[in-house]
A and B are shown apart, each in its own frame.
Chain A
Amino acid sequence: MSTGASGAGGPAADGTTSDWRPSERELARRRTRSRQRRHRVVVASVATVVVIGGLVAALVLSPGWPRVRATFLDLHHAKESLPSIVDGFWLNVRMFLIAEPIILVLGLALALLRQAQSAWLVPLRGLAVVYTDVVRGIPTLLLVFLFVFGMPALGLEGIPTSIFFWATVALVVSYSAYVAEVFRSGIESVHPSQLASADALALSRGQTMRHVIVPQAVRRVVPPLLNDFVSLQKDTALVASVGLFDALFAAADYANYNFNFTPYVVAALFFIAMTVPLARLCDVLARRLARRERAGAL
């Protein structure tokens, strides 16, 4: 695809195996193309330098810059706060790794429940509807508070008091409701003809879901699912509000004691380092799926 400039010449353009020489006109075309390319490169470079340089200059020349550098970008404070932020970040990562598989399973189960048609499952179906509606209506932060301080306060025998446990539960509850809706929309996006075909093949309802509908649905919702997981990675920072010493809280605690905001920037870099690869993976997968669905039509 990138050989546009010499495309007209084909493999023989190397000139090793045949006597073919590009015509004067072709040579002129190539010259024009390469001149245009050089021009584009120059313009792009100048524009980039001007824009980026200008933005940096605007930042550095702004009257508050020395203040910002001292309060947000202080190397000494970055180093001092790094160990506790690393420890805290490990907690974010663990929480995410534990919550994610549970959310996937629970979300799919809820979506399937909402699609179920058996009369026996009506009460459960109703519960699933209420669950997704109610849970999605409550801010995740609020759920975290309610679970962490509320559940142990019930004083029930055998209920754990661990803040980590209940904070993870809160994230699972919140995100399973979102993920359930993603799965449901995936399931509903499968064309009815697929159902009809399964019927014609005498597949049972369960077999239809398992072999025909769900595989197609899951493939379609992979990008939005990954999007939700990028959100989840960031939302693990919500647990800072209930005193779990995660990366955000480690940063806040250092900042509050030393009156310097640099640790927040450090913590932000950690989250970026974690979410960006997932976002890129999301793009790659989305492109691959799109290619497959179009079956080479584009």
Chain B
Amino acid sequence: MRLSRVVTPVAAVLLATAVAACAPAEDEPEEQSGKSASADECAVADLPLVQDGMLTVGTDTPAYEPWFVDNDPTNGEGFESAVAYAIAEELGFTKDQVTWVTVPFNNSYKPGKKDFDFDINQISVNPEREKAVDFSDGYYSAAQAVIVLEDSPAAKATSLADLATFKIGAQTGTTSLTAIRDVIKPQQDPLVFQNTNNAKQAMLNGQVDAIIADLPTAFYISAAEIENSTLLGQFQYDGGEPEEFGLLFEQGNQLLPCVNGAIAALQEDGTLADIEQKWLSDVVSVPELP
């Protein structure tokens, strides 16, 4: 009687320990960022894929323009959808061999197994992030841009320094937000949004005077989402280097060198430039802010 009272919890814990100890040890994933492989090493049949014979691509929802069109990544329209399909084609997948999964940005970097081969979601590459995931080479360099309402006092600002007296907002976890803190250094704490819809509403409500976003996003917000708004200008921010978007991979994913090879090929034959021209051409005329 007494023995079983003692033995049961002890046994339970020992069992749990044993199970944990016996679980397959995870190999330290080998860093894949920066590696590249040529096309002949990357036959579809040999690629390590989440789903056999299918390329599984993740992105957030809603999927915003101009990166996607109609909130539907599968239509091949919008810059990032087009890039994803171009990479897939370069790797040897047909259009119907590409499936999309919804991956909220906050979840994209959680540790453990990922249910996508790569995630494409305007994710800026930075060294801190590379400790948690692997990134492909950049497929787009983004400038930052300032959105204001036409009749707001902030619209009269002519430099980043002028903006410092206003209430400025950006999306959480973005380079834009860091740019506000590091470059503009506003007198009031920046307003931080969960997504651009919240940002839009806050701007219309007068809760924020200016919004910073990646140039193409900013262009779309201003042109299509907020009436009477305009782009004040653009500026580069990433410690002098252009800010690059990369595809996000699970750490150690062996598919990455092949994707890097594909991106290099698409850059070389001008496909990436064509896609950029097609979906992001509007953004070239925005003035630089001193």
In Å, the complex CA distance between A146 and B169 comes to 20
Which of B106, B131, B204 contacts A252, CB < 8 Å? Answer: B106
Judge whether A68 is part of the interface by a CB distance below 8 angstroms: yes
Chain A nearest CB from B117 CB (Å) reads 19
Which of A46, A68, A152, A245 contacts B189, CB < 8 Å? Answer: A245
Judge whether B10 is part of the interface by a CB distance below 8 angstroms: yes
Chain A contacts for B16, CB-based, 8 A: 54-55, 58
In Å, the complex CA distance between A68 and B26 comes to 12
User: What are some 17 contacts across the A-B interface (CB < 8 A)?
Assistant: A46-B6, A54-B13, A61-B21, A64-B111, A64-B112, A149-B198, A149-B205, A152-B206, A153-B201, A161-B206, A163-B191, A243-B169, A243-B191, A253-B172, A257-B126, A259-B109, A260-B131
Judge whether B50 is part of the interface by a CB distance below 8 angstroms: no
In Å, the complex CA distance between A149 and B206 comes to 11
Chain A contacts for B202, CB-based, 8 A: 149, 163, 243
**For residues 199 through 214 of chain B, which have their beta carbon under 8 Å from a beta carbon of chain A?**
201-202, 204-207
Given contacts A58-B17, A64-B111, contact A249 B192 (CB under 8 A): yes
Given contacts A58-B16, A243-B169, contact A161 B189 (CB under 8 A): no
Footprint of B on A, CB under 8 Å?
Answer: 43, 46-47, 50-51, 53-55, 57-59, 61-64, 67-68, 70-71, 149, 152-153, 161-163, 241-243, 245, 249, 252-253, 255-261
Footprint of A on B, CB under 8 Å?
Answer: 6, 9-10, 13-14, 16-17, 19-21, 23-26, 105-106, 109-112, 126, 128-129, 131-133, 169, 172-174, 177-178, 189, 191-194, 198, 201-202, 204-207
In Å, the complex CA distance between A261 and B126 comes to 16
Chain B nearest CB from A244 CB (Å) reads 9
CB nearest neighbor in B for A65: B20
Which of A50, A63, A70, A71 contacts B9, CB < 8 Å? Answer: A50
Decide if B23 touches A63 in the complex (CB within 8 Å): yes
Decide if B17 touches A61 in the complex (CB within 8 Å): yes
Could you say which of B21, B112, B194, B205 has the most chain A C-beta atoms within 10 Å of its C-beta? Answer: B205
Decide if A62 touches B20 in the complex (CB within 8 Å): yes
Chain B contacts for A153, CB-based, 8 A: 201, 204-205
Chain A contacts for B14, CB-based, 8 A: 54
Chain B contacts for A59, CB-based, 8 A: 20
Which of B19, B131, B172 contacts A256, CB < 8 Å? Answer: B172
Decide if B204 touches A58 in the complex (CB within 8 Å): no
In Å, the complex CA distance between A47 and B192 comes to 49
Decide if B204 touches A256 in the complex (CB within 8 Å): no
Decide if B204 touches A258 in the complex (CB within 8 Å): no
CB nearest neighbor in A for B133: A259
Chain B contacts for A253, CB-based, 8 A: 172-173, 177, 192
Could you say which of B19, B111, B131, B204 has the most chain A C-beta atoms within 10 Å of its C-beta? Answer: B111
Chain A contacts for B131, CB-based, 8 A: 70, 259-260
CB nearest neighbor in B for A162: B207
Chain B nearest CB from A264 CB (Å) reads 10
CB nearest neighbor in B for A71: B111
CB nearest neighbor in B for A72: B111
